Amino acid sequence: MELLRKWLGHPEDIYNLLRFKMGGYRAVMPRNIPVSWVGGAFLALYRYLNQTSRSFAAVIQALDGELRHAVCIFYLVLRALDTIEDDMTISLDVKVPMLHEFHSYLYQPEWKYMESKEKDRQVLEDFPTISMEFRNLSKVYQDVISDICHKMGVGMAEFLEKKVDSQHEWDKYCHYVAGLVGIGLSRLFSASELEDPIVGQDTELANSMGLFLQKTNIIRDYLEDQMEGREFWPKEVWSRYAKKLSDLAKPENIDMAVQCLNELITNALHHVPDVLTYLSRLKNQTVFNFCAIPQVMAIATLAACYNNKQVFRGVVKIRKGQAVTLMMDATNIQAVKAIMYQYVEEIYQKIPSTDPSSNKTQQVIASIRAMSLPSNPMASRHHYSPIYLSCAMLLAALSWQYLSTISKATEEYVQAGEN
C-alpha cells in the first residue's frame, strides 16, 4: 500500500503515467528498426546494444537516418573501452597500454580480447564485428569516433591511480568520462548534417552538456560509491567539511555533509546556461529529444538532492510519474526553459540562509532565471483540472497494482533518463 499512498500524494503522476502509456510515449519513444534497414553484422550490433543497455538502445534507435548507426557504433566502442577500464582483473601494466592504444584496435580487423570477466565482455570478444562496421562508416564518422576513443582512453588511464582532488581535476575527470561523449555526439550530429556545423564546433558547450550529467550522477551517487569503495567528490570541497569523505555519512556530521552537498550542486548548476544555449541551437527533433531528456532529468534530480539529508542515508530518485512527464514535455526549447525555471525555483526556495554557499547558489540561479524565464508558462505542467485529478485518484484506488507493473520498455526508458 506504500506505493498507493505515494501516488495519492501525487495524483498527477498517475494521470501522466496513463497518458504516457496511452500514446504520450510516441513523442519520444523510438520506432522499431525494420530488419530491412540493417543487414548482416548490424543485426549483431543492435543485439549487443540491447544486451549492454536496452534503455540506451531505445534512445539511439529514435535518431534519424545514418546518424542512428554512427551513434550505435560510437556507444559500443565506448562500452568496450569502459569494460576494459572497469575490469579489476586486468593488471595495470596490461590495462594502461590497452587504454592508450584502444583507438588503434578499430583499424585492426582481428583484434579482440577474450580474458575479460566483466558482464559486457561480449563487446570485447566480438570486437571484430564492431570494428568492421566502424570501418564501413563514412570517414567523417570514423574520425570522430577514433579521436574521442583515443582521448577518453588516455584520460581513463590518467585517473586509474589518482583521486579527484581539486575542482579543476573534478572538471577534468568529468570531461574525460562524459564531456568527451558530449563533444563526440555533437560532432556526429553535425557530420550527419541534421544539425548545423556550430553544434559540433562549439566544444565548450558540448563539454558542459556532459559535465552537467556526470556531476549530477556523482552527487546523487555519494552513498553507493562509498559502499563500493569509489570516491569522485573533489577533496578540495569535501575537506572543508570533514577529515575523510566517508565521514559525511556519519549522523553526527549530517549538517556539514548537507553544506558540502549544496556547494557541489551549486557548482553543477553553473553548466545550465551552457545547456540551454546548446539545446537552443538544435533543429532536428530526434536529436533534440535525445539531448534534452537527460538534461531535464538531471535538473529534477539536483532539485530533489539539494539540502536533502537523504543523499547520505539512501537513494534519492525522481518519481516515475515525474520522469515520464519530463520525457513528454521536453520536446522544444521553450518547454525545457520552463522546466529548468521550475526546478531552480524549487532549489531557491530551499536555500538555507546559513548555508555557506547560499550567495553563490542565489547568483547562479539568477543567471539561469534570466535565460529560462518562460514567456508562456506551461500551466499544464502544474495545474490539472479537478476532473483529471479525481479520475487519477479513482484510478489509483482501483488500479494501483496494475499500474505498479508499467511495461518494461517504459521502465527502461525512464531509467535511461535517470542515469
What residues are labeled active site? 173, 220, 230, 290
What's the distance, CA 149 to chain centroid? 19
The set of long-range contacts for 39-46, using a CB threshold of 8 Å and a minimum separation of 24, is: 41/129, 41/132, 41/133, 42/69, 42/133, 44/126, 44/129, 45/72, 45/73, 45/76, 45/129, 45/130, 45/133, 46/72
Q: How many CB atoms lie within 10 A of CB 230?
A: 12
Whole-angstrom distance, CA of residue 327 vs CA of residue 368: 21
What's the distance, CA 198 to chain centroid? 23
The answer to whether 291 and 209 have CB atoms below 8 angstroms apart is: yes
Q: How many CB atoms lie within 10 A of CB 5?
A: 10
Whole-angstrom distance, CA of residue 152 vs CA of residue 150: 6
Helices and strands: H and E segment counts in the chain? 23, 0
Closest CA to 191 of 149, 152, 136, 145: 145
Q: What is the chain's length?
A: 419
Q: b/e per residue, 57-77, with b = 16+ CB within 10 A?
A: bbbbbbbeebbbbbbbbbbbb
